[in-house]
Amino acid sequence: MSSDAHGAPAPAGHGLKQPYHLVEPSHWPIIGALGGFLTLFGIVIAAHYHNYIMLVAGALIVITTMAGWWRDVVKESRTPGLHSKVVQLGLRYGMLLFISSEVMFFVGFFWAYFNFLLFPETQGNGQLVWPPTNVFTFDPFHLPLLNTMILLLSGTTVTWAHHALLEGNRRDLLRGLGLTVILGVLFTTFQAIEYSHAPFKFYGGGVYSSVFFLATGFHGFHVIVGTTFLAVCWFRAKANHFTPERHFGFEAAAWYWHFVDVVWLFLFACIYWYGAGIIAVE
């Protein structure tokens, strides 16, 4: 095995002369970018013209990219010599930077929300209150509170799974991961039920509707991604891909899931509870 200038071993059998490159050239980034573009543009087309072809095509490309890319990453992680100490450190830095970018993504939504809450005259509809007087909001202590309890419990179960992995307890690892995936599916189900009973419209419902659905909807999308991430980890754990010493794939999923938990707590406290107006009565 060759070494770099600092004496760090280079990955064996990969044609690399130093340990910093992680993957071979891949076609998945460009395909994923295309899928993301079609999905975003398809949402606009669907909202304005009720044509869902582009949205469905984009979503299918994104799903295919996720499946193919994850397959390649799992294969790479199982190849001896590829994940050197330097590469593992880089993976951790990369995941931390990714989560930091996601934090700033949601900061934009909270910034917009508090702009209208603190300065309601900026809504442009002549009203000086927030939420607007014609908007009925959700009861924060109904489904939103239930979903909060579900996510808090899921944070506990994924931590249980992590501790089980560190202790070499494969049975509890699978149990904890399985429960977390189930709780993630439950959260998504209850959020879909909540949306189906929304007292304001997704499209054409004004400023409040736009901010609410963007913030909570993108969080819901992150829950779906995190649930899928953890489900992949469950299958990998069942196939004995993780050891107490090498399990960053699971660790990254746990970090992401805790991020999703924390964002929801802020959403519940700021939008559902603090920003509640006249509660809709069914």
DSSP string, 47-69: HHH---HHHHHHHHHHHHHHHHH
Terminal CA-CA length for the chain = 69
Q: What is the pTM of this model?
A: 0.83
Distance CA 20, CA 31 (A): 24
Same domain, 22 and 74: yes
Last residue of a domain, one of 25, 52, 82: 82
Token readout for 7 is 């004496």
pLDDT at residue 280, rounded to an integer: 54
36 lies in which domain range? 1-82
Same domain, 180 and 262: yes
Same domain, 55 and 77: yes
Same domain, 171 and 64: no
Could you write out the three-class secondary structure of 150-209?
A: HHHHHHHHHHHHHHHHHCCCHHHHHHHHHHHHHHHHHHHHHHHHHHHCCCCCCCCCHHHH
pLDDT at residue 282, rounded to an integer: 52
Q: Check if the beta carbon of residue 12 is closer than 8 Å to that of residue 27.
A: no
Last residue of a domain, one of 63, 82, 101: 82
CATH number at residue 9: 1.10.287.70
Number of folded domains in the chain?
2
Mean pLDDT by 10 residues, the chain (282 residues): 48 53 77 95 91 95 91 82 79 93 95 90 80 86 95 96 95 96 97 90 79 94 94 94 89 96 95 78 51
Same domain, 229 and 148: yes
Same domain, 91 and 197: yes
All residues at 6 or more sequence positions from 104 whose CB lies less than 8 Å from its CB, including other chains? none
Same domain, 269 and 208: yes
Last residue of a domain, one of 33, 49, 82: 82
pLDDT at residue 97, rounded to an integer: 96
Burial class from Cβ neighbours inside 10 Å (0-12, 13-18, 19+) for residue 250 reads buried
Same domain, 12 and 117: no
pLDDT at residue 85, rounded to an integer: 79
Same domain, 158 and 193: yes
Same domain, 99 and 71: no
DSSP string, 112-133: HHHHHHH-GGGGSSS--SSS-T
pLDDT at residue 6, rounded to an integer: 47
Distance CA 281, CA 140 (A): 12
Listed residue (114, 150, 149, 143) closest to 131, CA to CA: 114
Distance CA 234, CA 157 (A): 13
Same domain, 259 and 119: yes
Nearest 10 degrees: Cα torsion 38, 39, 41, 43 = 150
pLDDT at residue 5, rounded to an integer: 46
pLDDT at residue 276, rounded to an integer: 80
Same domain, 125 and 67: no
Distance CA 268, CA 258 (A): 15
Could you tell me how many helices (H) and strands (E) the chain has, helices first?
Answer: 7, 2
CATH number at residue 156: 1.20.120.80
